[in-house]
Amino acid sequence: MFDLKLIESKIQYVAKDEQWLRQAFCHKSFQKENEDWVHNEKLEFLGDAVLDLVVSDLLMVRYADDQEGNLSRKRASIVNEDRLCELAKQREMEQFILVGDREANNNLRCNPRIIASTFEAVVGAIYRDSGYATVFDWVKDNFQPLIEEAFSEHDFEKDYKTRFQEWVQEEFKETPNYVVINQSGPDHSRVFEIEVFVNKQSWGVASGASKKMAAQNAAKQALEKIKR
- Residues annotated as part of the active site: 48, 120
- For residues 94 and 109, the answer to whether their CB atoms sit within 8 Å is yes
Handedness of CA 187, 193, 196, 201 (dihedral sign): negative
Q: How far is CA 2 from CA 10, 78, 80, 106, 130, in A?
A: 13, 30, 27, 20, 21
What value, to the nearest 5°, has the Cα angle with vertex 212 and ends 208 and 213?
Answer: 35
Distance, in Å, from the CA atom of 127 to the CA atom of 28, rounded to the nearest integer, reads: 21
What value, to the nearest 5°, has the Cα angle with vertex 19 and ends 18 and 24?
Answer: 100
Closest Cα partner for 72 from 156, 136, 148, 139? 156
Handedness of CA 218, 223, 226, 228 (dihedral sign): negative
Encoded amino acid at 200, one letter = K
Helix%, strand%, coil% for the chain, nearest 5: 65, 10, 25
Handedness of CA 143, 147, 148, 153 (dihedral sign): positive
Q: E strand or H helix at 28, and its extent?
A: helix 28-33
